[in-house]
Amino acid sequence: MEDELCYSTITFKPFNKEKSKVRQLDESALYAEVNRKQSTSHTETTGREASTPISRVYRRASVFLGLLCFLLLAALTAVSIFYYIHMSKHNNILAQYTKERAANLQLLADKEVLEQETARLVTQGQQMNNTLDFIIHKSSFSGDKYCQFTGNGVRCTSCPQNWIQNGSSCYYFHKGNLWNTWAESQEYCRKHGAQLAIIDSVGEQEFINQHTEPYYDTYHGYWIGLSEKQGNTWVWTSGAQLERGFWINLPHVGYTHCVLSMPSKNPPRSWKSEWCTMKSRWICEVEVLTWPTFLQAQRNHSDPSR
């Protein structure tokens, strides 16, 4: 084996510079291409590796936003349902309130009507009691002097027929030809449930003067309920003493003197004292009789006549 040797022939060719340059250029191009491919492959790999975490973040964010939208939608639905239920209850309560308020207003109106009716009945009851009391205390009371039958039923006046009302009193002015003494005049008034007039104010005296007619002389007048007692004391038929007089002149002093109201244009100077036995006209006075409303008629303003 040692004898067997391999021999090779090596031929050296002349060096060609141009081919060497071409081969070097080819090798450079090949290296650059390989290098570029390697770089591109590395960049793509790096990009894929970088994009993978970002896509996961987006996916998680999308899931979170979707869940959030679902929760918001659920909350909005719950609020809408609650609002609907609440508004339904509110509308029911409002309708019930309106109904009860209308019923309450009707009850208040009915109450007012009942109160007015009660007040009317109470007033009417008081009037009937006053009328009954008046009738009981007047032994000479005659209903036909106050009440008349009409087409609408019974109607009653506050004063007897031919009497004139002034304030809370009714007055009868006797103007006939039959004259009486003071005592006879007082008896006439008593028979009619009245008494000779008691005058305690200028206004009342003015009313008296407006309804008294002059005589044919200056001596006679109208008897009023004032007479002289012992001790030069002037007393009304009610028993009260005179506090204020409307004398024409100073009165006479004497036990049998009574007072006449003379027709005069000067009411504060209208009284005259004369013998109680002198015959003259007279004035009766009685308190107004208040009848129940359903029996009341218009006042009688006609002048008294006999």
CA distances (Å), 11 to each of 18, 23, 299, in order?
A: 20, 20, 175
Domain that holds residue 100: 28-137
Q: Is residue 301 part of a domain?
A: no
Average pLDDT, the chain: 79
Pick the last residue of a domain from 137, 152, 170: 137
End-to-end CA distance of the chain: 201
Per the structure, how many domains does the chain have? 2
Percent of the chain surpassing pLDDT 70: 70
Q: Is residue 128 part of a domain?
A: yes
* Mean pLDDT score, 287-296: 70
Task: Indicate whether 123 and 179 sit together in one domain.
Answer: no
Q: Is residue 22 part of a domain?
A: no
Task: Indicate whether 192 and 97 sit together in one domain.
Answer: no
Q: Is residue 194 part of a domain?
A: yes
Task: Indicate whether 70 and 157 sit together in one domain.
Answer: no
DSSP string for 144-176: GGTEEEETTEEEE-SS-TT-EEETTEEEEE--S
Better-predicted residue by pLDDT, 9 or 91: 91
Q: Is residue 127 part of a domain?
A: yes
Pick the last residue of a domain from 137, 165, 197: 137
CATH number at residue 161: 3.10.100.10
Task: Indicate whether 36 and 103 sit together in one domain.
Answer: yes
Task: Indicate whether 126 and 154 sit together in one domain.
Answer: no
pLDDT in tens, 212-243: 988 888 889 999 999 998 767 899 999 999 98
Q: Is residue 17 part of a domain?
A: no
pLDDT in tens, 28-66: 555 555 455 555 555 555 555 555 667 888 888 888 888
Task: Indicate whether 288 and 170 sit together in one domain.
Answer: yes
Task: Indicate whether 77 and 105 sit together in one domain.
Answer: yes
Pick the last residue of a domain from 137, 170, 204: 137
Q: Is residue 260 part of a domain?
A: yes
Task: Indicate whether 112 and 165 sit together in one domain.
Answer: no
Residue 2's pLDDT band (cuts 50, 70, 90) = very low
Residue 305's pLDDT band (cuts 50, 70, 90) = very low
Task: Indicate whether 89 and 172 sit together in one domain.
Answer: no
Q: What is residue 58's predicted lDDT score, i.e. its pLDDT?
A: 83
Query: 170-191 burial, b for 16+ CB within 10 Å, e for fewer?
Result: bbbbbeeeeebbbebbbebbee
Task: Indicate whether 62 and 124 sit together in one domain.
Answer: yes
Task: Indicate whether 63 and 193 sit together in one domain.
Answer: no
